[in-house]
Structure 1
Amino acid sequence: MREKPVRFDALDSWRGIAALLVALFHFQAAGYFYAVPFVRNGNLAVPFFFVLSGFVITHAYRASLDGPQEGLRFMIRRFGRLYPLHIVTLGILILLETAKLYLSSHGYHGSEAPFAGTNDVPSLVANMFLLQAIIPFPELTWNAPSWSISTEFYTYLIFVAVVLGFGTYRQWGAVIMFAASGLLLFWLDDIQTTLNLASGLGLVQCVFGFFTGNLTYDLYLRLRDKPYLTGTAPELVATTIMVLLFWFKPRYVAADIIAFGVAILLFSFERGQISRLLRVRPLLLLGTLSYSIYLVHFIVFTILFAAVRIAQGRLGVDLIRFDGLHDRLDFGPAGLMDLVALAYIGVVLMFATITYRFVEEPGRRFFNRVSSGLTTGRGASPSII
């Protein structure tokens, strides 16, 4: 029997906060924000997304995946959740690259030639088919954060294969995937692999994170009625875990993922005062916009960076400086650069609201209708996906 649909509001708010951390992580500017460990380690939010995705997807879909047709319906729904916004943001970057091509013919040159380097044609084709982190590339390409969308889509296929292939023993299938991918990831972390997120490491992280979330959900079902786990004290423990992870960023990503699983479990009961705070309307809205924030922010930063480069060329003044690792905006005191960072976040939120309303939600509803048209059978509750 299928579990009663529930919306995990506090976890959704955490998703929104994590999306903002990723947006700030990519904003290279010489302000005070730039040096704060929470921001410098903001890329840890992506493994958190993987674990949360495994938790929520297991809750929403696992019980209804009882045959190939339901598996197809699931994949259509997930495609509709991920692809419309991905292809629109990719299209915007193609337009920007075309504009770069035009400007280069009129004497304006960026850090890379048009349709070259990380924005070349082979990687463009891979991005169109969500293969940018499946087919190995030397570095992240086009809309860089979308590497995780690539790995997540194909992890969904693995999830369907495990659920359908193992049948009534599906939980054992999840344990096998958790153990195999976890051991592989620990080993890759230990040897400090040269694999990057676009050449295989990202897929391993995603699979391990997803099945960690899967098993975390099973623990939730077993423990949700335990009073000693359902108050403010466990949520304080979970918050402490999150703070320590983002502040210190342990070397082993696999360990981070397991710790995120513990934090998600403790917040999933949503009966403490911290959960109450996380259910305030602004944070819930942030959670709703999290996917749009995640895919749109890199475009906003790319446009801002390009505009500053053009201004730098015209004014003959250094507005972008290399800090030894990255080019970063540096055209004023640190406090001013922090104001620029806040303005950037404001613009990201504005465009995320637009893309959510006009791209993300219409696309999701369209593919949900396509999925529902295949059968009159069961489907996931739209309130939790």
Structure 2
Amino acid sequence: MKTSGHQRFEALDSLRGVCAILVVMFHMPVASHWRDWGFIQHSYLFVDYFFVLSGFVIAHAYAERLKSGRDAGRFMVRRFGRIWPLHLLMLAAFVGLELARLVFQFDGAPPFTRDRSIEAIFTNLALIQAWHVHPYLTWNGPAWTLSAEWACYLIFAGLVLVAPKRFRWIGLVLAIIGGVLVVSYARRWMNTTYDFAVPRAVYGFFLGCLLQGLWTRIPRLKGGAATVLEVAAIVAACIFIGYAQGPITVAVTLVFVILIWVFAGENGALSRVLDHPALVTLGRWSFAIYMVHMFILTVMMIVARKLDWVPVRRIDFGSIWLNDLFAVAMFGFIVAVAVVAHRLVEQPAQRMIDRWTKPKAA
């Protein structure tokens, strides 16, 4: 495998795609067979895989490249350009839905109130909506992770500039503080978003940075032993997430640190499965899947209520098998919309930002 800062960890990317699908399953309001499984009920924890992985790959790509304020500025612009265009698209979609609610009054929800307030539009545009400035999630709820990760990027750039040789250890201190804050003060521990989102993200992100600095120095198993370790890591992570509740959920970040260490080297047979082009492609679509799914589910619920498909709080057609088929169809539709958003918005925006921030030849 390559060891340059441009290395792409494809097995980890594929796992990110799987995690995005599991987050969608957690949010899917359909009375399917799997809806009440403990594993699905706790799948909000897979967001923490995103934080640890982000710290790992950001440290791998940029820890040795931020030498000056100009480098740090270029880094921030590039990161902003990676997450903001798709965030802007989905924010615009939600605002458009609210304008339609204002004009056509198609349900009883008062437009532009509470989590859909005018002021929250501006905090979302600035990516500060999850910095404990609102008492609830706003607009495109899942975008809280972008807000929290944006704070991590700012801290990362500052630490690398000020203490390039010690930033990982300073980050470890911040990670410990973040974890302690979550376990001590977050009302639902790791199921925290708008209030303790930044400590939760810092906890995972900077453990990911530390892992990146250590992973090449830790001996890794090869061949059959690596395969056994990979299978064990996946099984352990699934069991933990399936049963973890209360304060112990804070340990999920450590579970993902181990998982990423195991799969970063891609030494076992399970890594080779994850390297399949279909799964790698799913990983590349994962950000778009994560960003578009809540808007689609919101519109779906509005339509379902109009058609009396929601007897209580979930869509239910009276047949759990029919519910399963409907849920699978919604998954397919979400992925299809995500692919369009990825190709028409996410990729062109990334290419444009990359051109703008490409260092000029001397």
- Name the TM tier (shorter chain): over 0.9
- After superposing the two structures, state which structure 1 stretch, 238-247 or 332-341, moved more: 238-247
- 2:336 maps to 1:350: yes
Partner AA of 1:151 in structure 2: A
**TM-score, normalization: structure 2?**
0.93
Contact 2:44 2:191 in 1 (8 A): no
Q: 1:368 corresponds to which residue?
A: 354
Query: Structure 1 238/146 Cα, relative in aligned 2: closer, same or farther at 3 Å?
Result: same
Tell me the distance in 1 between the aligned counterparts of 2:219 and 2:62: 19
Residue by residue over 1:254-293, the C-alpha shift from the partner in whole angstroms, topping out at 9 and shown as x without a partner, is: 3111111011111111110111111112211110100000
- After superposing the two structures, state which structure 1 stretch, 44-53 or 331-340, moved more: 331-340
- 2:302 maps to 1:306: yes
Residue by residue over 1:125-168, the C-alpha shift from the partner in whole angstroms, topping out at 9 and shown as x without a partner, is: 21111111014212111111000011101110001111111132
Unaligned runs of 5+ in 1: 313-318, 378-385
Query: Structure 1 194/210 Cα, relative in aligned 2: closer, same or farther at 3 Å?
Result: closer
Q: 2:181 corresponds to which residue?
A: 184
Partner AA of 2:310 in structure 1: I
Unaligned runs of 5+ in 2: none
Query: Structure 1 52/3 Cα, relative in aligned 2: closer, same or farther at 3 Å?
Result: same
Contact 1:139 1:196 in 2 (8 A): no
Within the candidate set 190, 204, 209, 2:204 is matched to: 209
Partner AA of 1:253 in structure 2: T
Residues 1-385 of structure 1: pairs in structure 2 closer than 5 A: 3-104=4-105, 108-110=106-108, 112-188=109-185, 196-199=192-195, 201-223=196-218, 227=222, 231-251=226-246, 252-312=248-308, 319-322=309-312, 327-372=313-358, 375-376=360-361
Helix, strand or coil for the counterpart of 1:329? coil
Query: Structure 1 3/176 Cα, relative in aligned 2: closer, same or farther at 3 Å?
Result: farther
Tell me the distance in 1 between the aligned counterparts of 2:149 and 2:336: 26
Helix, strand or coil for the counterpart of 2:311? strand
Partner AA of 1:222 in structure 2: R
Tell me the distance in 2 between the aligned counterparts of 1:72 and 1:230: 44
| 1:225 Cα offset (Å) | 5.5
Helix, strand or coil for the counterpart of 2:267? coil
Contact 1:163 1:173 in 2 (8 A): no
Query: Structure 1 230/361 Cα, relative in aligned 2: closer, same or farther at 3 Å?
Result: farther
Tell me the distance in 2 between the aligned counterparts of 1:364 and 1:32: 39
Query: Structure 1 52/148 Cα, relative in aligned 2: closer, same or farther at 3 Å?
Result: same
Partner AA of 2:254 in structure 1: I
Identity %: 33
| 1:366 Cα offset (Å) | 1.0
Helix, strand or coil for the counterpart of 2:112? coil
